[in-house]
Each structure stands twice: as C-alpha cells, then as structure tokens.
Copies of this chain bind each other. A is one copy, B any other.
Amino acid sequence: MTVRERADAARNRQAILAAASTLFDTAEDPLTVTMDDVAAAAGVGKGTLFRRFGDRTGLLRAVFDTRIAGLMAAIVDGPPPLGPVTPARERLLALLDATVEFKLDNRKITRVLEQTSERASFLESPNYLLAHALFTDLLTGMVIPDRAAWTAHALLSFARIDLLENLIITQLWTETRLRKEIQDMAGRILGHK
C-alpha cells in the first residue's frame, strides 16, 4: 500500500487544483492558459506541478474530476432519475440531459479537454469511455444488441461542447431550449414513447 502523501505535497496539490480551476474558468480563451501560468498562480514551481499531475492533460482531468464527482455519485447510487433504479429509457434521457447541463456549466474546461489535440482522441478519454460504457449497457435490450455501442456514440455526439456552444451562439438558443431539442432528438433515435 502506498504511504501517505507528505503534508507539503498535499497542500501544493490543493493549491494547484484551485489555481488551475480558477484560471481555466476565468480566461476568455482557456486554451491560452499555460502551465507556467498555473504554476505562477499556485505559487509553486513548474517542476512540482508536473510531478503531481504528469502532464497538461493529467492536470486538466484532475480538475475536471473534482467537479464531476458529485454527478458521478448521483449516477452510481443516487435517487431517480439519475440513479440506478430508474427504467433504462428514462434514465438514458436523464443522463444525456445531465451531461449536457454539466458541460454547459463547465464549458471552459470541457472545451480544453475535448479539443485538446493530444495523440488520443476525446473518444478515448476515461470520462467518455465511462459514459459510453454506461450508455451502451442501458441500451442493450432497447435496441439490436449489435447497435448498442453505436447508438451510445450517436447520443453522446449531441453533447460535444463545440456543438453545444455553436448552437447557443449561432441559433441564439437558450440552454433550456437546447436541452429540450436534444431530448427530443434523442427520443427520436430511441423510438418515441
């Protein structure tokens, strides 16, 4: 078992997460926030930052994870409609809606994570894989089994942050309207009623 993290290390981790969280949300273009910026804002050396989080993507994911923890808990064992006791179809729609809502509430950092052109595509990130697995599972039994994975991708493709932001900006849709339209489109894919 790994030994407990040293006190200064723990303190620095918190400082870095807090600084990164603020910076990425504050910057008008989050893509321009550099690792040096984060280190400076956290009052920490760059080496420390990389030691803790490995690389830029690691830091981004760590920030993202702290924010999504609550939602994850609600999904794993919360009350309906997100929790596991909800019937598949209803839960799927609720999960998709929650995903859209969450991404909009955290759009800056979501943008950085989704359009970061790292070697691996967004579809291979842990968070997407998790969501996709869950969706696929719920879809098994609702559609031809062989199509569950594909349908999961199709549904999740409506929640890509660039698409969401584009619709809000070019269509002048409110978030409410957007969420409603996505629900409707998803309903059409799942077969209405």
Contact = CB atoms under 8 A, between A and B. Distances in A.
Interface of A: 29, 31, 115-117, 119, 121-124, 147, 149-151, 153-154, 157-158, 160, 162-163, 165-167, 170-171, 181, 185, 188-189, 191
Nearest to A178: B150
A167 B185 contact: no
Contact of A171 (B122, B149, B154, B163): B149
B166 A153 contact: yes
B147 A181 contact: yes
A150 B185 CA distance: 10
A55 B160 CA distance: 27
Contacts of A167: 149-150, 153
A56 to B, nearest CB: 12
Given A147-B181, A189-B185, A162 B117 contact: no
Nearest to A121: B162
Contact of A115 (B121, B147, B160, B185): B121
Contacts of A153: 163, 166-167
Contacts of A160: 157
B122 A162 contact: yes
A113 to B, nearest CB: 11
Nearest to A170: B149
B116 A117 contact: yes
A122 B166 CA distance: 11
A135 B40 CA distance: 47
12 contacts: A116-B117, A117-B117, A123-B162, A149-B171, A150-B167, A150-B185, A154-B185, A157-B157, A157-B158, A157-B160, A157-B163, A188-B189
Contacts of A171: 149-150
B117 A150 contact: no
